[in-house]
C-alpha cells in the first residue's frame, strides 16, 4: 500500500504507528477488519452513509448554520482512496471545487505512545484513533477584511464551523469505538483554534501553547501566527524567539485516554512549564518583517 508523502502519521513525535500485520502487540481488543475496509468504500469510516452524515450534521446544527449563511442547497460526497483516507466533502449547489464548503479527510490508525510520558512500570496500551489528515472550511462568497484577516496558509475566508466539525468528529468517534481523534496543526494559529477542544499529548507542548495564549491574549490570532513566522515572539525563559514545533493534539473520547490527561505526571509537567514560561511580543518589528515577507511571497503559500 502506497503512503502519501504528506501523510500525517509519518510526522509523529509522541507516538509510534503500529503495523497491524507484523506487530507482536496484542490488538485483539481493537475493532478493525481489512475486508470491511474493502467492502465499504462508499461509507465514511466504513460505517456512515451519505444519509447518516446528513442526519448527523443536521442534529448538531451545522445544516441550520450553513443555511443562515445562505448555503441551503447542500450536497455531500463520501469516498475513500487507496491509502484508506476517508473523504467527506460538503458542497454548495454543485460538486465543484469553487463551491466546496467543507473538506474533512480522516484515517484510522493504532498508535503506541512513547514511554517517556508515563511513570516507570506503567502498562502502556495502544490507542485506536481517528487521524485528521486534512480539515478545510471555506466561504465561496466571503472576502477577507480587517475583522477577519487572511491567516498564513489560508487561501479563502473560513466559515466559522470549527465547533461543528469537532461535534461531528466526536459523534463519529463514539460510534466507531475510538479512543479519540488526533491532529497535527501546521501553524500556531491552527493549534490555538483547536485548543478549545484539543490538548497536546506532550504536556510540555500544551504548557507552552497555553502560556503563549495567556501572555499574548491582547493580540489577534493572525498577529500571533505572524509573530511565530517572523520570530518576534520572545521566549523569556530561554531569551530567544519562540518556535512552533508541530505535534499531536488530541481530543479524547475514551475513559482510558481521559485518564492519561488527568494523570498526576501530565498535570505536574504541565504546571512546571506553564508557570515557568513567559513571552513578549515585539509587535512593531513583526509588522515590518511581515511587510518584507509579503513583498516576495503570497500569504496563502506560507
pLDDT bin (cut points 50, 70, 90) of residue 106 is very high
Answer yes or no: is pLDDT of 31 > 70: no
> Could you tell me how far CA 199 lies from the centroid of its own chain?
10
Q: What is the dihedral of CA 65, 71, 75, 77, to 10 degrees?
A: -70
Gap between the Cα atoms of 302 and 294, Å rounded: 10
By the 10 Å C-beta count (0-12 exposed, 13-18 middle, 19+ buried), 237 is classed as: middle
* Residue 165 burial (CB count, 10 A): 20
Predicted TM-score (pTM) of this structure: 0.85
Residue pair 186/261 in contact (Cβ under 8 Å)? The answer is no
Angle at 286 between CA 282 and CA 292, to 5 degrees: 155
pLDDT tens string 161-211: 999 998 998 888 878 888 998 999 988 999 999 999 999 999 999 999 999
pLDDT tens string 234-291: 999 999 999 998 899 999 999 999 999 999 999 999 999 999 999 999 999 999 999 9
Amino acid at each position: 500500500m502506497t503512503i502519501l508523502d504528506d501523510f500525517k502519521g509519518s510526522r509523529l513525535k509522541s507516538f509510534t504507528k503500529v503495523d497491524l500485520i507484523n506487530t507482536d502487540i496484542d490488538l485483539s481488543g481493537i475493532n478493525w477488519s481489512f475486508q470491511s475496509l474493502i467492502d465499504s468504500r462508499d461509507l465514511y469510516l466504513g460505517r456512515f452513509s451519505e444519509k447518516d452524515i446528513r442526519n448527523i450534521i443536521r442534529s448538531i446544527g451545522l445544516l441550520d448554520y450553513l443555511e443562515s449563511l445562505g448555503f441551503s442547497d447542500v450536497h455531500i460526497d463520501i469516498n475513500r482512496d487507496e491509502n484508506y483516507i476517508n473523504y467527506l466533502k460538503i458542497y454548495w449547489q454543485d460538486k465543484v471545487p469553487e463551491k466546496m464548503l467543507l473538506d474533512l479527510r480522516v484515517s484510522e490508525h493504532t498508535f503506541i505512545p512513547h514511554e517517556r510520558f508515563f511513570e516507570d512500570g506503567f502498562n502502556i496500551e495502544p490507542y485506536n484513533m481517528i487521524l485528521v489528515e486534512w480539515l478545510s472550511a471555506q466561504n465561496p462568497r466571503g472576502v477577507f477584511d480587517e475583522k477577519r484577516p487572511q491567516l498564513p496558509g489560508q487561501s479563502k475566508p473560513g466559515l466559522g464551523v470549527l465547533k461543528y466539525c469537532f461535534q461531528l468528529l466526536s459523534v463519529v468517534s463514539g460510534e466507531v469505538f475510538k479512543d479519540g481523534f488526533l491532529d497535527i496543526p501546521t501553524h500556531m494559529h491552527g493549534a490555538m483554534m483547536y485548543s478549545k477542544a484539543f490538548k497536546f499529548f506532550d504536556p510540555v507542548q500544551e504548557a507552552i501553547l497555553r502560556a503563549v495564549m495567556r501572555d499574548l491574549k491582547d493580540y489577534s490570532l493572525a498577529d500571533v501566527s505572524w509573530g511565530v513566522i517572523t520570530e518576534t515572539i520572545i521566549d523569556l525563559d530561554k531569551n530567544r524567539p519562540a518556535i512552533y514545533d508541530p505535534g499531536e493534539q488530541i481530543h479524547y473520547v475514551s475513559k482510558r485516554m481521559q485518564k492519561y490527561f488527568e494523570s498526576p505526571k501530565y498535570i505536574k509537567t504541565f504546571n512546571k512549564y506553564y508557570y515557568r514560561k513567559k513571552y513578549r511580543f515585539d509587535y512593531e518589528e513583526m509588522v515590518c518583517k511581515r511587510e518584507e515577507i509579503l513583498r516576495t511571497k503570497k500569504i496563502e503559500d506560507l
